[in-house]
């Protein structure tokens, strides 16, 4: 089955594989011997998968439940990794329908198709920002509320069917080739262009986890589903266990890269529900820990410039 991270004859179905984290996971699984199938919307850009495109099967989903059932039957996965999401923060009224469809309807179609075809191992993706003010549940944004809504739907399936689910709540992710509007690419761009970068006061804590460690967590969660029959509906926090102030992160970035940045601290306001202290009360995924230090991760992340 799975031996030292390597898989023989196992099949994975990955949603969200056209994004930064999902594409990295799909490539990792393929390199480790998994047969990898991915779900993509009609018209989705597959650029992030180009390095492994010949070894990955792409299924186009037209948005219908019937299409999802057909994909599940064709892929016949042993495990489904669900990373697809739409996260506009802050949202506008125009975002409401696509966000609800992406974060609630799509996932429900996915699980319903799994149950109908006898697929029972599911790894879901949550976020630390479902825990505003470091409480068990308080959504920092409408996006976070939709993630929780799907998690509640998932609980219905785990309690009424044979579905086994693990939800991984991710913190701040970084790594090479990241073109998202995240903190490390923002700092890279400011360093490259030698332009000032506007920031908040920088007192908020950020919990940075390197992309390879994130992929490790998903693979370890899959191992847990294969080896622990008692798993039904578990939630784990994928945290570095070492949050750092944004101001201090910028200093580490400068020290590692040798670039001095012009940061305009206080030029941007905090969001109305800015997370100052990230979620610290979640359970750790058994056997997992972040291996890549912040300094090592920044060095690796900045070795290859992202595409802006």
Specify if 141 maps to a domain. yes
Backbone conformation region of residue 266, classed left if phi is above 0, alpha if psi is from -120 to 50, else beta: left
Say if residues 204 and 183 touch (Cβ distance below 8 Å). Answer: no
What CA–CA distance (Å, rounded) separates 213 from 221?
12
What CA–CA distance (Å, rounded) separates 182 from 205?
14
Specify if 114 maps to a domain. yes
The lowest-confidence range among 41-50, 141-150, 169-178, 252-261 is 41-50
Sequence-ordered list of residues with C-beta below 8 angstroms from that of 37, at least 6 positions apart, any chain:
11, 12, 13, 14, 56, 57, 58, 59, 71, 74, 75, 77
Q: Quick one: pLDDT at residue 7?
A: 59
Q: Quick one: pLDDT at residue 57?
A: 94
Length of the chain measured in residues: 308
Q: Quick one: pLDDT at residue 148?
A: 98
CATH for 123: 3.40.50.720
**pLDDT over 90, % of the chain:** 89
Specify if 8 maps to a domain. yes
Say if residues 65 and 39 touch (Cβ distance below 8 Å). Answer: no
pTM: 0.94
- Six token digits for residue 201: 């006061």
pLDDT in tens, 173-198: 999 999 899 999 999 999 999 999 99
Mean per-residue pLDDT, 39-60:
83
- Six token digits for residue 242: 């070492």
Specify if 290 maps to a domain. no
**Residue 267 confidence (pLDDT) above 80:** yes
Specify if 28 maps to a domain. yes
Specify if 148 maps to a domain. yes
Specify if 275 maps to a domain. no
Q: Quick one: pLDDT at residue 307?
A: 46
Residue 169 phi, psi dihedral angles, 5° rounding: -95, 110
Q: What single DSSP character describes residue 255?
A: H
**Which structural domain range is residue 137 located in?**
2-174+208-238
Q: Quick one: pLDDT at residue 308?
A: 35
pLDDT in tens, 18-29: 999 999 999 999
| Domains contained in the chain, number | 1
């Amino acid at each position: 089955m799975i031996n030292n991270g390597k898989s023989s004859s196992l099949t994975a179905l990955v949603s969200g594989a056209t994004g930064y984290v999902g594409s990295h996971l799909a490539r990792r699984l393929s390199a480790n011997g998994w047969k990898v199938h991915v779900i993509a919307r009609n018209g989705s850009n597959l650029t992030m998968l180009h390095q492994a495109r010949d070894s990955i099967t792409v299924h186009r989903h037209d948005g219908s439940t019937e299409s999802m059932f057909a994909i599940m039957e064709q892929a016949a996965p042993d495990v489904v990794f669900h990373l697809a999401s739409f996260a506009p923060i802050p949202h506008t009224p125009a975002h409401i329908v696509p966000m609800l469809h992406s974060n609630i309807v799509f996932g429900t179609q996915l699980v319903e198709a799994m149950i109908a075809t006898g697929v029972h191992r599911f790894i879901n993706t949550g976020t630390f920002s479902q825990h505003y003010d470091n409480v068990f549940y308080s959504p920092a944004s409408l996006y976070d509320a939709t993630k929780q809504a799907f998690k509640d739907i998932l609980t219905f399936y785990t309690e009424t069917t044979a579905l086994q689910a693990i939800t991984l709540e991710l913190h701040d992710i970084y790594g090479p080739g990241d073109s998202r509007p995240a903190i490390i690419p923002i700092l890279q761009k400011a360093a490259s262009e030698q332009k000032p970068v506007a920031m908040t006061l920088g007192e908020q804590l950020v919990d940075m986890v390197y992309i390879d460690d994130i992929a490790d967590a998903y693979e370890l969660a899959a191992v847990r589903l294969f080896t622990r029959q008692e798993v039904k509906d578990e939630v784990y926090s994928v945290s570095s266990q070492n949050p750092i102030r944004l101001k201090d992160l910028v200093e580490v970035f400068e020290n590692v890269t040798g670039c001095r940045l012009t940061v305009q601290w206080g030029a941007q306001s905090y969001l109305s529900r800015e997370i100052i202290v990230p979620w610290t009360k979640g359970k750790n995924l058994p056997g997992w820990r972040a291996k890549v230090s912040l300094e090592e991760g920044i060095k690796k992340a900045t070795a290859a410039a992202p595409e802006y």
